[in-house]
Structure 1
Amino acid sequence: MNYAILRTAKLKTMGNIGSSLAHNYRTIETPNADPNLTPKNEHTVATPEAVKKAIQNRLPEKRRADAVLCIEYLITASPEWDGWGTDKETEFFKRASLWLSVKHGEENIAGISIHRDISTPQLVAYVVPIDQRGKLNCKEFLGGRVKLSQMQTDFATTVADLGLTRGKEGSKAKYTSIKAYYHDINHARDFTITAEPPKPELFESKASYGEKVISAVIEQIEPTVKAANSILTDYEKARVDKSVAEASYDTLKKRVEPYLVATKGLNQEEIARVNEAMQLEGRKIAVDRGKI
């Protein structure tokens, strides 16, 4: 069975957006991409700076401090699909772009890219979630399991005649594709820890504001920890298992390096707190994205 795959990520800070764009435009090291094929990638907007500017231009002046500024869509299909490298592939990405335009309005799509320098081609789009009232409102599009499930169904229906189907509705299986795995790893490598603290509310207590700042910082380091956790267990096993080949250990060490860098200098209590917060966030993400 060949599946239409659609995933979303909520980008809440310009730092998050900049990191994603660096990966998308290959301005930083991208381990799973073949640099010889990178020239075959397509972008509707020439530079990451121009995409960022387009996002900023669509953002309303008045918005919540914790608002989602941009939705990053990742659209692809099963690696085994017979449409790759054929006219079906062109049609698939054409329909995906049109589907996004109908759903969000062309004026709210800041940029679309198609990657062909990886094992399975994919489309990445940056969309400012403006609702029909002109408000920044991600919840209108991604709020709740029902809307997420319907979105998956709608998109799959759009490309069904190309030989693709929707994943099982209501499935509780935890699924992570190779593309998503490397996507997370690359985001971890892109990441730099730069805090953008929220503005305090009028008459807000120091304690309340302090917790808000902590939450904002945790959110910004989430990509690093989320990516590294997927291989951290294997790394620890390899570190103590003498039977593991040295080359395998070195590979694991290199992959887990973003996590080690991100947590360097923190004491055990701080690392435990970060890990716990990331695990909670990961479960929330699983509910929002995968279990629909």
Structure 2
Amino acid sequence: MKIPPKAKSPHGATVIRVVKLNKNKLGASLAHTYRTMPVPHADSSRTHLNQDWRPASSPKEVQAEVRKRLELADNVTDNSVRVIEYIVSAPHEAFSEQGGPVAWEKYFRDSLDYLENRHGADNIVGVNVQLDEQTPHLVVYVVPLVRYPATTRKREVIVGKRDGEIVRGVRAFPVPSRTALSATYYMGKRYQLRELQTTFAEEVAIPNGLRRGLHNSAATHVTTRQYHQALLRKMASNLDLTSKDLEFQGMLWSKESPDEHAARITSLVVDHYAPIVESAAKADIEKKRANEMAETARRTEAALEREIEAHRRIREKYSSLVAGLTDDEVKGIREFSRDRLRERQKEEEAKKRENAKRQEVERVERKKQENEKATNLRHMPAETLARLDNHQRIQLWRLAMVRDDLEKTLTRWMESGLFNGDGTLSNRGKTLVEKSAPELHTSHPRRGVSPAIHPKGKRPPSSFER
């Protein structure tokens, strides 16, 4: 019998960070990601190795894609969180280039699949793989759109009077479906971030040879700015050479000015001591990490003690409830509890079957309505589609894209030149709509002007009656 090979143990914790970006913060993040600003810790000779896994490959292009997606939302304000930025990586030694088990491309592809399932592929507007830094990492920009289905809302309203008293009743009002911009939907609660870490580890990290980070962790992210500040502090403490210190010697030794002499000597010292100073800066950060790990252990121990205490209280309460009962009586209570638990499970299973049946009926009804809508769409002119409001038009466009029986209709719409590939209006389509807008306004008389009298005293038919 052949013994299967032993699975590789997880080689370090996965890294997935989430950052909320409003309109002001988005520009700085994009400039850093796409290297349109100086990035000291990136190797400019390797920047050409970075990869874009979306058509947008510059800050300007990503901003344009963000604006397109925001057109679908009905609640965008100047202060809205417009983009969620995900950064995915792993410890430096975990990647295969350093002898670890993680192949960066597969790991990042799996990460992107996970985020597409979480947010929808259309809402991911920028994907950049950065290979010009010491450790590979993936940066993903997501517009957090949420689709809320149509529903009903119940309200208490006045329905009439009875014997002089106001009578109130509950009425159901339809609430139409809508698309909203909502970062809070995905990361508004702390437990949502914990769930993200857990599900990402289960679906992506562990299959790629990594593990989940610690629960109850006190660790915090060391930003690039914090690292550079630590480095500069150590540089300042190790190098304190000024032109004043060398003024006298500089005049005697050479024809260099004090500033030139100081710059040359400082450059030599920096080149010689830079590795030592960088190690010292890292030592500060590692000390911070050690303190955070100690705090993590303390929190975990406290959580365990709380759980033990909760179990102890339950045992005490149970003991007080059965005090004075015989063994047979306690056994009877346990059997009754088990029977009741089985009955509850049966009730829950029956409820699940009922819900599944109801959902199937609703699915069939939605399919029927979709088929009816598709039948009406087959002969819709491109000009008519262009004049619909943006939300309705994109809905119909997406329906045509997923249905084989509307392939010819979709082709006809695309060949009209009135639309972009996602159903939004092209420049030609916008021109058509703008030209038709005045015609709609002229069909209504201006306020304060009496409408013309129609022959035989009849009013002209409205646009609906025509």
Q: TM-score, normalised by structure 1?
A: 0.61
Aligned match of 1:47: 58
1:26 positional shift: 0.7
Aligned match of 2:104: 89
Higher mean C-alpha deviation, range 142-151 or range 79-88: 79-88
2:14 and 2:90 in contact (8 A); partners too: yes
Aligned match of 1:261: none
Structure 2: distance between partners of 1:20 and 1:176: 16
Structure 2: distance between partners of 1:84 and 1:142: 33
1:47 positional shift: 2.2
2:80 to 67, 78, 88: 67
Query: Do residues 98 (structure 1) and 98 (structure 2) align?
Result: no
Query: Do residues 9 (structure 1) and 7 (structure 2) align?
Result: no
Aligned match of 2:195: 150
Aligned match of 1:141: 186
Query: Do residues 108 (structure 1) and 123 (structure 2) align?
Result: yes
Structure 2: distance between partners of 1:232 and 1:120: 19
2:90 to 61, 68, 77: 77
Aligned match of 1:31: 40
Cα RMSD of the aligned pairs, angstroms, is 2.8
The number of aligned residues is 199
Find runs of 4+ consecutive structure 1 residues off by over 4 angstroms.
84-87, 243-251
Structure 1: distance between partners of 2:270 and 2:79: 39
Aligned in 2, Cα 1:165/1:130: closer, same or farther, shift over 3 Å? Answer: same
Aligned match of 1:58: 69
Aligned in 2, Cα 1:136/1:169: closer, same or farther, shift over 3 Å? Answer: same
Determine what percentage of the aligned residue pairs are the same residue. 29
Aligned match of 2:282: none
Q: TM-score, normalised by structure 2?
A: 0.39
- Deviations 1:18-65 (Å, cap 9, x if unpaired)? 111111111111111111111110012232211110011111353244
Larger RCO, structure (CA 8 Å, separation 6 or more): 1
Aligned match of 2:211: 165
Aligned in 2, Cα 1:151/1:84: closer, same or farther, shift over 3 Å? Answer: farther
- Deviations 1:249-279 (Å, cap 9, x if unpaired)? 999xxxxxxxxxxxxxxxxxxxxxxxxxxxx
Structure 1: distance between partners of 2:187 and 2:126: 19
Structure 2: distance between partners of 1:6 and 1:72: 10
Structure 1: distance between partners of 2:102 and 2:19: 29
1:90 positional shift: 1.4
1:105 positional shift: 0.4
Aligned in 2, Cα 1:6/1:83: closer, same or farther, shift over 3 Å? Answer: same
| Structure 2 unpaired stretches of 5+ | 1-10, 149-178, 242-265, 272-466
Structure 1: distance between partners of 2:25 and 2:102: 34
1:176 positional shift: 2.9
Higher mean C-alpha deviation, range 155-164 or range 140-149: 155-164
1:132 positional shift: 2.5
Query: Do residues 231 (structure 1) and 229 (structure 2) align?
Result: yes
- Deviations 1:227-252 (Å, cap 9, x if unpaired)? 59x827974x876x5x655569999x
Task: Give SS of 1:132's match.
Answer: strand
Matched to 1:145, the amino acid is R
- Deviations 1:168-221 (Å, cap 9, x if unpaired)? 01122x3335xxx32xx3xxxxxxxxxxxxxxxxxxxxxxxxxxxxxxxxxxxx
Task: Give SS of 1:69's match.
Answer: strand
